[in-house]
Amino acid sequence: MKKLLIKAFILLALAWLCACGAIYVAMKQPPESFARVMSHIPGPVAFVAFPFETLWTHARAGHLKQGDLAPDFLLMQLDRANSIQLSTLTAKQRPVVLIFGSYT
């Protein structure tokens, strides 16, 4: 009986590690792909059963160092009628300040 419990525990641990690895790989994909994967995980299971925040921090850390140029990206303006690209601002030698967070 004890050997059976040990085997079951090892099997569950391996399944948990595989699931953590699968979530980590999904986190490294573009947001649309990651959202597709997360839509198949019920409710708060990913946040409760797995080290979600730690995986996210490592998966999305990036490789920029101080002094590196920011990666180019495209954002919708608040009116959603137009978009703006970072490279258009930097090409005009305009200073750019990026603020991440909420002030509400």
* Domain limits for position 53: 2-91
- Residue that is written with structure tokens 């509400």 in the block: 104
- 38, part of any domain: yes
Residue 98 located in a structural domain:
no
Lowest mean pLDDT among 28-32, 92-96, 99-103: 99-103
Mean pLDDT of 64-90: 87
Contacts of 87 (CB under 8 A, 6+ apart): 72
Model pLDDT, residue 66? 86
* 99 found inside a domain: no
Residue 104 lies in a domain: no
Given a cut of 70, is residue 49 above it in pLDDT?
yes
Using alpha carbons, select from 56, 89, 59 the residue that is nearest to residue 72. Answer: 89
Residue 81 counted as domain residue: yes
What confidence category does residue 104 fall into, taking pLDDT thresholds of 50, 70 and 90? low
Query: Looking at the 3D structure of the chain, how many domains does it have?
Result: 1
Q: What is the model's pTM?
A: 0.62
**Backbone dihedral region for residue 46 (phi beyond 0: left; psi -120 to 50: alpha; all else: beta):** alpha
